[in-house]
Amino acid sequence: MKTQDTLVPPSATSTGFLRTAMLATSGGLGLMLASLASVENVDGSFRFVWSGWVVAAFAVGVGLGMFYWQAAFQLGSDASDSAATVKRMKTFKVVSAVLIFAAVFAFLYPMKFVRPEKRADVRSGLIMVPFFVIPVVSMWYFVKRYIDADAAKSEAEEADRQ
Give the whole-number percent of the chain exceeding pLDDT 70: 87
In contact, 67 and 91? CB cutoff 8 Å: no
Cross-strand bridge partners of residue 48: 39
Kindly report, residue by residue over 25-44, the tens digit of the pLDDT.
999 999 999 999 998 887 76
In contact, 60 and 96? CB cutoff 8 Å: no
Give the per-residue pLDDT at 21. Answer: 86
Give the per-residue pLDDT at 9. Answer: 52
pTM: 0.62
Give the per-residue pLDDT at 144. Answer: 92
Q: H helices of 12-133, where?
A: 12-38, 52-77, 83-108, 119-128
Mean pLDDT value of segment 111-117: 82
Nearest CA-CA partner of 65 in 21, 110, 13: 21
The amino acid present at 52, given as its one-letter code, is G
